[in-house]
């Protein structure tokens, strides 16, 4: 289906055929933008008797590219909204139930969330709307969507609680020396260790969106002093002292724990670099539950090796999966997890609940929730 975004005047072609009048709606825009309806279904062929136009009369139906499990779990609910919705289903072996070439919609979530699905749907010629489970929108798939002027919506906050919980578990893992206690068990050693309390500690949360604001609240529940970095000047609850990116090097020396929960952008790529590590409090712990490219990995390795950085906990790395030969696997003082923070059975249902809500808005030409661009 062809989407038209440019403005066109009201045109009436009369008497082209004896019994047909062609109407073209003015101010045509994309569906889901909150602007007038924008696809060729809205070119109305009305008879001289002004018969009511039916959008199904043109024989075109909406089609979505997604995974089979998504269809099995949420297809019935979607068909209640769009009864003639068609599906191109991505299978676990990389094949399709039918060609996705004419898909208007993309749902990147659940069982089809894979590099192969993203690569193939990024090559579609004319999708109009993509919904994703991703919080951030970096990478080739989203670049392709931007280049094609495809609307993209995400599900902000759908995994925020679980990611924040994971970040706090890493903080507790370090403070309570759980790795050492587990090691003692494996060696049959019964020895008490002195553990850190949190009520006299300071945490710096870099990024105070849905995830970071929850980390701030949870940290305050442990009695910690909370510092925060945010692009916006709007104050965030539970943050004792808040600044922007220019204040990062001022806040770093004050923090026992630095937690990264910000999106990857050209400005945040490599944000935590040699200069940042040099400003950190000696023995501090870095926790990254954001994006791998935010941290300069060679600089991280140097800081751990020198003892400047006490501990690092990375749930994300620049290249995923991490190659087996990479130095990070065997780096002392590093706890590495496989981008696991967001994995919860609650995640996909939340993502799809928003998609279903947006599907209603889309067909009614209402603004979409969670729209990124």
Which residues are known catalytic residues? 291, 320, 339
Q: Which residues of 67-105 are buried (b: 16+ CB within 10 A; e: fewer)?
A: bbbbbeebbeebeeebeebebbbbeeeeebeeebebbbb
Helices (H), the chain: 68-81, 115-122, 140-147, 160-175, 178-186, 210-221, 248-251, 274-279, 297-306, 347-363
Q: Which residues contact 199 (CB under 8 A, 6 or more apart)?
A: 222, 223, 224
Q: Which residues of 214-249 are buried (b: 16+ CB within 10 A; e: fewer)?
A: bbbebbbebebbbbbbbeeeeebebbeebbeeeebe
Place of tokens 């440019």: 6
Place of tokens 């991703």: 134
For residue 251, report the phi and psi dihedrals to the nearest 5 degrees. Answer: -80, -30
User: Are 231 and 259 within 8 A, CB to CB?
Assistant: no
DSSP letter assigned to residue 245: G
What is the rounded distance in angstroms from the CA atom of residue 338 to the CA atom of residue 313? 11
Q: Which residues contact 284 (CB under 8 A, 6 or more apart)?
A: 252, 255, 256, 257, 258, 309, 310
How remote is the C-alpha of 22 from its chain's centroid? 43
CA count, 13 A, side-chain hemisphere, 314: 26
Q: Distances in Å between the alpha carbon of 290 and those of 70, 141, 174, 260, 307?
A: 26, 18, 19, 6, 24
């Amino acid at each position: 289906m062809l989407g038209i975004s440019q403005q066109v005047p009201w045109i009436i072609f009369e008497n082209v055929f004896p019994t047909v009048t062609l109407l073209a709606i003015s101010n045509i825009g994309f569906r889901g933008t909150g602007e007038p309806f924008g696809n060729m279904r809205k070119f109305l062929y009305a008879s001289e008797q002004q018969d009511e136009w039916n959008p199904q009369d043109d024989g075109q139906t909406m089609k979505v590219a997604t995974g089979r499990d998504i269809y099995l779990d949420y297809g019935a609910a979607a068909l209640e909204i769009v009864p003639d919705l068609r599906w191109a289903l991505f299978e676990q072996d990389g094949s399709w139930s039918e060609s996705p070439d004419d898909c208007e919609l993309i749902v990147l979530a659940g069982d089809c969330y894979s590099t192969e699905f993203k690569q193939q749907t990024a090559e579609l010629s004319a999708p109009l709307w993509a919904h994703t489970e991703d919080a951030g929108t970096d990478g080739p798939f989203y670049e392709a969507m931007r280049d094609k002027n495809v609307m993209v919506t995400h599900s902000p906050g759908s995994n925020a609680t679980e990611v924040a919980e994971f970040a706090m578990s890493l903080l507790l893992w370090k403070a309570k020396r759980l790795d050492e206690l587990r090691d003692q068990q494996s060696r049959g050693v019964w020895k008490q260790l002195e553990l850190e309390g949190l009520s006299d500690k300071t945490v710096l949360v870099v990024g105070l969106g849905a995830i970071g604001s929850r980390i701030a609240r949870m940290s305050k529940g442990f009695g910690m002093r909370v510092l925060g970095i945010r692009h916006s000047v709007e104050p965030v609850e539970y943050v004792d002292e808040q600044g922007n990116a220019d204040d990062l090097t001022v806040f770093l020396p004050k923090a026992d724990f630095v937690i990264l929960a910000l999106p990857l952008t050209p400005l945040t790529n490599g944000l935590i670099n040699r200069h940042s590590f040099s400003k950190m409090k000696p023995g501090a712990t870095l926790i990254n539950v954001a994006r791998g490219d935010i941290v300069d990995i060679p600089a991280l390795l140097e800081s751990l090796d020198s003892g400047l950085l006490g501990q690092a906990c990375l749930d994300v790395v620049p290249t995923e999966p991490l190659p087996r030969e990479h130095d990070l696997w065997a780096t002392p003082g590093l706890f590495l997890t496989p981008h696991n923070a967001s994995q919860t059975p609650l995640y996909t249902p939340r993502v799809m609940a928003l998609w279903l809500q947006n599907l209603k808005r889309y067909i009614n030409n209402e603004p979409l929730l969670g729209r990124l661009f």
